[in-house]
Amino acid sequence: MAAVITSTPIHYAHSVTVNGHALVVDEPDKLGGKNAGPAPFDLYLASLAACTAITLRMYAERKGWELGEFRAVLRLHFGDDGRPNVHRTLHADGPLDDAQWARLLEVVANTPVTKAMRDGATITSSRGDAAKESA
């Protein structure tokens, strides 16, 4: 798994390729960007939202539960200590009872991306040789 990001002529906008999928990232106008694509923390929320929806859909299918249309609203704010705080509100129009909802809330607390964000990751950096390295 690798992501490759390359600058563009548009100030803060960059092209990103991940697993054969391309997208543009940028900062909003108020931060000096041109709003040409989602900002880094937009992608942070999108990653968590995607893992939330996919994990719950997989779990419900294994249990034979009908989620119907699923939607999650994720909101990010930063605490006084500067740490990010995310709150997820889950919606499904399938016929789920209180016990099923309680289980889904337990499952969502332990999705792979939730765990990585909550527990942290080891991140290292090194200088590369642009002429020799690609994804």
Tell the burial category of 80 from Cβ atoms under 10 Å away from its Cβ (0-12, 13-18, 19+): exposed
pLDDT band of 68, cuts 50, 70, 90 = very high
pLDDT at 124 exceeding the cut of 60: yes
CATH number, domain 40-121, options 3.60.15.10, 3.40.50.2020, 3.40.50.300, 3.30.300.20: 3.30.300.20
CA atoms within 13 A on the CB side of 14: 13
Distance CA 133, CA 95 (A): 51
pLDDT at 80 exceeding the cut of 90: yes
For the chain, report the end-to-end CA distance as a whole number of angstroms.
Answer: 9
Distance CA 35, CA 24 (A): 10
Task: Work out the number of other CB atoms within 10 angstroms of the CB of residue 26.
Answer: 22
pTM for the model stands at 0.87
